[in-house]
C-alpha cells in the first residue's frame, strides 16, 4: 500500500467524520455547520460539505479538504496530517509509508545489538532478584507502568552483554557483533594485561535512548546507590554511528502525540526529570541531551507546537542552557516560557516535594524567558542620568535582537523605555533599535548578565547569556530558515479568481500576470493549474485540482485559499469581454500590490538611514514608485 492509497481512503470517508474530532458540528440539511477554529467565531460560519469533501469558512475565507483542515488546526506538515488522520480512521500509518532504504550493514548490526541489550537489561530488572530496582521505584514514586513505558532496565554486576554476544553460533557473525559493540561503546577491552572483554555498564539503572522512530540508539546508566556515584552519577554511551547526543530528544517518539494534542511542550534535562513528569501526568514533556538544542532538534519541536516551556534545572548550567535555547527559539519568532523550581533543583525534586498541582500552577503562571531577562536589566533604583538609562536600553536591544523587527520585541522595548523614565517617543526608540540591528554582528548577543534566582540559595545569582550559541557539529552549518511572506490581498484575489473561473487561464494576456506575482508558491500554482486545466475534462475539475494540491507543496496559505475557492466553485461560461476585463483587473491589482510592497520596504529602510546621501537616494526611489502608482488606475475605473 502507498500514500496514494491512504489519500484515497481519506477521501472515501465523509469529511465531517474527520473534522468533528476537532470541533463540534451540527447537521443542517445536506451540510454540517460549526464554529470556525481559525478566527474568533461566535456564530457558526464554518460549513462542511460531505459530497464535495471540502470545508469552507465564509467569515475568514479559509477552506480545503480534510488534510488541509488538520494541517492548519494541528499545525502539522502534510505527512504529519496524514499520520494524524490515519490514527482517527484506525489505520496503521506505517503500512502506507514507502519502505526505508536498508541501513548499512554496520548500522544494522549496531541497532540489532542495542535492541537486544535493551531487552536483556529489562529482563534483569523484572527478574526474581530486583530489590534495588523496586527500592529505586519506591523512592522516586515511580509506577511499574512508567518503568515499563520507558523500558527501564538494570545492568547487573559483572557482564551480561559480552556472554550473550560470545554465544552467537556463527563465528563470523560473532566477530562482527563484538567489534560493533566495542565501536558503539556497549562493551570494552579491559586494560589489565591479558584482560578480556567486559560490559561498559555495570550495577546501573539503564535508560534506553531512542531516535525519532523509536529505535534504541544508545544508553544512559544511572547509579542506584550513593556509593556508586563516586564513579559518576550517570555514564552515557559514546557518540557513534547511530548516536549523536546533540541530535537527540529523549522521549520524542513517546511524547509527540501528547505535544500535538496539548499544543505545548515542557523541555527538561535528564531522563529522571522526564520520566517523573510523564509519571505525574505531563506526557507532553521532552528531555534535551547535552547542553541544549540545535536547529534540527528545534525544528522537530516546532513542527508539533510553538508553545515551549523551559524547565531545565534551576542551577547556573541549566539557566545558561535555557538562555541559549531561548535565543534560538526567538530567532524563529517563538517566545518560550520559563519554569523556576526554586528552592528545588529540578522537576523531579519539585514533584516529589510539592506535587503536580503546584507544577500545574507554575506552568499556568510562567513568564516568558524574554520578559524575565528584560526584568533583570532594571536596577532596584532607576538611575537619574539619561546616559545610564540609554545604556540599559542598549542591553535590552541585544536581548530582543533575535526577534528582529517583530512587534513582540518592539512593544517590550517601548514598555521598558517608559519604566526607565525615558522621554523618547516610540518612533525614536524604534529607529534606534533598527540602527542597532543594522550594525549588529552575526550571532552577537553581548549584554550585561541577567539576574535569575538560584535554587541553591535565597539570593540572586548572575547568569550571563553565552555569546557562543548552541554548539554545532563540526562542518555542519544550520540552514537559514525563513518563513515565506504572507500572501498579499492581490495574490489571494488571483488564486480565487483563477480557481473559480479557470477560463481566465486561457486568455492571451494571462502569462503577463506571472511577472507581477511575488510569491513563488502562488506563481507555481498558477502555472500548474493552467497546465492541468488544458488537459482535463470540466466535470473532473474539482477532483483534479484537489489532487494537484496534494501532489505538490504549494504551502498551507495557498491550499486554504484555493480550498475555499473550490468550495464555492460552480462551472460558468464567461464571455470573452468579461474574461478580458477580469484578467485586466487582476493585473492592475498585482502591479499595485508589487509596487506597494516595494514602497513599504523603502520606507522601512528610510527610517534607519545612517547618512544624508542614502536618504536622498531612497527619496528618489520612493517618488518614482509613487509616480508609477498614480499612473496605474485602480481596478474598475
DSSP string across 255-284? HHHHHHHHT-EEEEESHHHHHHHHHTT--S
Which residues are 199's β-sheet partners? 187
The residue-averaged pLDDT of 565-586 equals 88
d(CA 150, CA 166): 28
Taking the C-alpha atoms of residue 11 and residue 29, their distance in angstroms, rounded to an integer, is 21
Task: Give strand ranges (E) for 454-605.
Answer: 460-463
- Can you tell me the mean pLDDT for 109-115? 94
Chain segment 305-353, per-residue pLDDT in tens: 899 999 998 888 888 889 999 999 999 999 999 999 989 999 999 999 9
Name the phi and psi angles at 244, rounded to 5: -125, 115
What integer best gives the mean pLDDT of the chain?
A: 84
The 8-class DSSP code of residue 458 comes to: S
Q: What is the pLDDT of residue 8?
A: 86
pLDDT score for 453:
45
Q: Is the peptide bond before 409 cis (omega within 30 degrees of 0)?
A: no
Q: Across 32-41, 88-97, 228-237, 469-478, which has the greatest mean pLDDT?
A: 32-41
Amino acid 621: pLDDT:
86
What pLDDT is stored for residue 457 in this prediction? Answer: 34
Its sign, for the CA torsion 142, 148, 152, 153, is positive
Task: Give the pLDDT confidence of 351-389 residue by residue, as tens digits.
Answer: 999 999 999 999 999 999 999 999 999 998 888 888 999
CB 344 within 8 A of CB 311: no
DSSP state of 49: E
User: How high is the pLDDT of residue 458?
Assistant: 36
Distance CA(160)–CA(178), nearest Å, equals 13
Count CB-CB contacts under 10 A for residue 211: 18
Residue 260's contacts (CB-CB under 8 Å, 6 or more residues apart) are: 74, 75, 76, 84, 304, 305
- 461 has which bridge partners? 452
529 beta partners: none
Peptide bond into 343 cis (omega under 30): yes
Locate all alpha helices (DSSP H) within 441-519, ordered by sequence.
489-500, 510-513
106 three-state secondary structure: helix
| Among candidate residues 273, 410, 298, the one with its CA nearest the CA of residue 351 | 273
pLDDT above 80 for 144? yes
Q: Which residues contact 274 (CB under 8 A, 6 or more apart)?
A: 250, 251, 268, 285, 286, 287
Across the range 82-102, mean pLDDT stands at 76
3-state class (DSSP) for residue 463: strand
In this prediction, residue 466 carries a pLDDT of 34
The confidence band for 95, taking pLDDT boundaries of 50, 70 and 90, is: confident
What pLDDT was estimated at residue 482? Answer: 43
Give the pLDDT score at 452.
52
Among 283-287, 571-575, 589-593, the range with the most confident prediction by mean pLDDT is 283-287
Distance CA 98, CA 492 (A): 35
Is pLDDT above 70 for 475? no
> DSSP code of 610?
-
Position 484 scores a pLDDT of 54
Query: What integer pLDDT is reported at residue 354 of this predicted model?
Result: 92
pLDDT for residue 194: 63
Distance CA 276, CA 137 (A): 11
Q: Are strands 216-222 and 249-250 parallel, antiparallel or unpaired?
A: unpaired
Residue 374 pLDDT: 94
Q: What is the mean pLDDT of residues 137-162?
A: 90
> Closest Cα partner for 286 from 319, 306, 308, 303?
308
pLDDT for residue 357: 94
Query: Widest CA span of the chain, in angstroms?
Result: 95
Distance CA 225, CA 133 (A): 11
Residues 6+ apart with CB under 8 A from 221: 155, 201, 204, 205, 206, 207, 234, 235, 236
**pLDDT over 90 at 605, yes or no:** no
Dihedral angle computed from the Cα positions of residues 77, 79, 85 and 86, in that order, rounded to the nearest 10 degrees:
-160
- Residue 7 confidence (pLDDT) above 80: yes
**What's the CA gap between 262 and 363, in Å, rounded?**
13
d(CA 582, CA 574): 10
Instruction: Give me the pLDDT at residue 309, please.
Output: 97
Higher pLDDT, 197 or 130: 197
Buried b (16+ CB within 10 A) or exposed e, 212-234: eeeebbbbbbbbbeeebeeeeee
Q: Which residues contact 539 (CB under 8 A, 6 or more apart)?
A: none
Cβ contact 271:222 at 8 Å: yes
Would you state the pLDDT for residue 451? Answer: 46
Its pTM stands at 0.59
Question: 14 near 50, Cβ under 8 Å?
Answer: yes
pLDDT digits (tens, 9 = 90+) for 411-463: 999 999 999 999 889 999 999 999 999 887 555 444 444 445 443 333 343 33
**pLDDT for 12-49, tens place per residue?**
899 999 999 889 999 988 899 999 999 888 889 999 99
Sign (positive or negative) of CA dihedral 300, 304, 310, 312: negative
3-class secondary structure per residue, 302-341 = HCCCCCEEECCCCCHHHHHHHHHHHHHHHCCCCCCEECCC
Assign 153 to helix, strand or coil. strand
Q: Quote the pLDDT of residue 113.
A: 95
Among 262, 287, 265, 264, which Cα is nearest to 346's? 287
Amino acid at each position: 500500500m502507498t500514500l496514494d492509497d491512504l489519500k484515497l481512503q481519506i477521501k472515501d470517508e465523509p469529511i465531517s467524520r474527520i473534522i468533528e474530532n476537532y470541533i463540534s458540528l451540527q447537521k443542517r440539511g445536506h451540510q454540517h455547520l460549526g464554529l470556525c477554529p481559525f478566527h474568533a467565531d461566535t456564530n457558526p460560519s464554518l460549513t462542511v460539505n460531505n459530497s464535495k469533501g471540502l470545508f469552507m469558512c465564509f467569515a475568514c475565507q479559509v477552506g480545503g479538504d480534510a488534510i488541509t483542515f488538520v494541517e492548519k488546526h494541528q499545525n502539522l506538515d502534510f505527512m504529519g496530517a496524514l499520520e494524524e488522520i490515519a490514527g482517527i480512521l484506525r489505520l496503521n500509518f506505517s503500512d502506507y509509508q514507502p519502505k526505508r532504504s536498508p541501513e548499512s550493514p554496520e548500522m544494522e548490526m549496531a541497532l540489532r545489538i542495542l535492541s537486544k541489550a535493551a531487552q536483556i537489561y529489562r529482563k534483569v530488572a523484572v527478574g526474581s532478584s530486583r530489590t534495588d530496582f523496586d527500592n529505586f521505584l519506591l523512592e522516586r514514586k515511580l509506577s511499574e507502568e512508567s518503568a515499563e513505558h520507558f523500558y527501564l532496565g538494570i545492568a547487573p554486576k559483572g557482564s551480561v552483554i559480552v556472554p550473550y554476544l560470545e554465544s552467537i553460533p556463527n563465528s563470523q557473525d560473532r566477530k562482527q557483533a563484538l567489534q560493533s559493540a566495542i565501536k558503539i561503546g556497549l562493551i570494552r577491552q579491559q586494560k589489565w594485561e591479558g584482560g578480556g572483554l567486559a560490559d561498559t555498564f555495570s550495577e546501573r539503572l539503564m535508560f534506553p535512548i531512542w531516535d525519532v522512530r523509536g529505535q534504541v540508539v544508545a544508553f544512559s546508566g544511572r547509579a542506584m546507590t550513593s556509593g556508586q556515584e563516586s564513579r559518576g552519577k550517570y555514564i552515557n554511551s559514546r557518540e557513534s554511528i547511530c548516536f549523536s547526543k546533540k541530535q537527540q530528544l529523549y522521549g520524542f517518539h513517546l511524547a509527540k502525540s501528547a505535544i500535538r494534542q496539548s499544543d505545548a511542550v515542557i523541555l527538561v534535562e535528564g531522563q529522571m526529570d522526564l520520566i517523573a513528569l510523564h509519571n505525574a501526568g505531563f506526557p507532553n514533556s521532552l528531555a534535551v541531551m547535552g547542553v541544549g538544542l540545535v536547529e534540527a532538534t528545534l525544528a522537530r519541536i516546532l513542527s508539533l507546537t510553538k508553545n515551549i516551556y523551559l524547565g531545565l534545572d534551576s542551577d547556573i548550567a541549566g539557566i545558561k542552557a535555557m538562555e541559549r535555547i531561548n535565543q534560538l527559539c526567538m530567532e524563529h519568532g517563538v517566545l518560550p516560557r520559563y519554569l523556576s523550581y526554586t528552592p528545588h533543583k529540578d522537576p523531579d525534586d519539585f514533584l516529589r516535594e510539592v506535587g503536580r498541582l503546584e507544577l500545574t500552577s507554575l506552568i499556568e503562571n510562567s513568564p516568558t524567558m524574554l520578559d524575565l531577562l528584560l526584568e533583570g536589566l532594571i536596577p532596584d533604583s532607576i538611575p537619574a542620568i539619561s546616559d545610564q538609562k540609554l545604556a540599559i536600553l542598549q542591553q535590552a536591544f541585544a536581548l530582543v535582537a533575535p526577534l528582529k523587527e517583530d512587534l513582540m520585541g518592539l512593544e517590550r522595548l517601548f514598555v521598558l523605555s517608559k519604566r526607565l523614565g525615558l522621554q523618547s517617543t516610540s518612533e525614536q526608540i524604534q529607529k534606534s533599535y533598527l540602527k542597532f540591528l543594522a550594525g549588529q554582528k552575526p550571532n552577537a548577543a553581548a549584554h550585561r548578565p541577567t539576574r535569575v534566582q538560584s535554587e541553591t540559595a535565597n539570593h540572586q545569582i548572575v547568569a550571563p547569556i553565552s555569546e557562543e550559541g548552541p554548539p554545532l557539529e563540526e562542518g555542519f552549518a544550520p540552514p537559514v530558515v525563513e518563513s515565506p511572506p504572507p500572501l498579499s490581498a492581490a495574490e489571494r484575489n488571483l488564486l480565487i479568481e483563477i480557481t473559480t473561473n479557470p477560463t481566465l487561464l486561457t486568455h492571451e494576456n494571462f502569462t503577463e500576470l506571472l511577472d507581477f506575482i511575488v510569491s513563488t508558491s502562488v506563481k507555481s500554482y498558477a502555472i500548474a493549474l493552467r497546465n492541468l486545466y488544458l488537459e482535463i475534462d470540466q466535470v473532473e475539475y474539482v477532483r483534479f485540482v484537489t489532487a494537484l494540491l496534494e501532489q505538490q507543496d504549494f504551502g498551507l496559505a495557498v491550499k486554504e485559499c484555493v480550498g475555499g475557492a473550490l468550495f464555492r466553485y460552480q462551472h460558468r461560461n464567461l464571455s470573452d469581454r468579461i474574461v478580458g476585463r477580469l484578467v485586466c483587473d487582476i493585473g492592475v491589482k498585482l502591479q499595485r500590490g508589487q509596487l506597494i510592497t516595494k514602497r513599504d520596504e523603502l520606507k522601512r529602510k528610510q527610517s534607519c538611514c545612517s547618512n544624508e546621501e542614502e536618504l536622498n537616494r531612497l527619496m528618489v526611489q520612493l517618488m518614482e514608485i509613487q509616480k508609477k502608482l498614480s499612473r496605474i488606475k485602480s481596478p474598475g475605473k
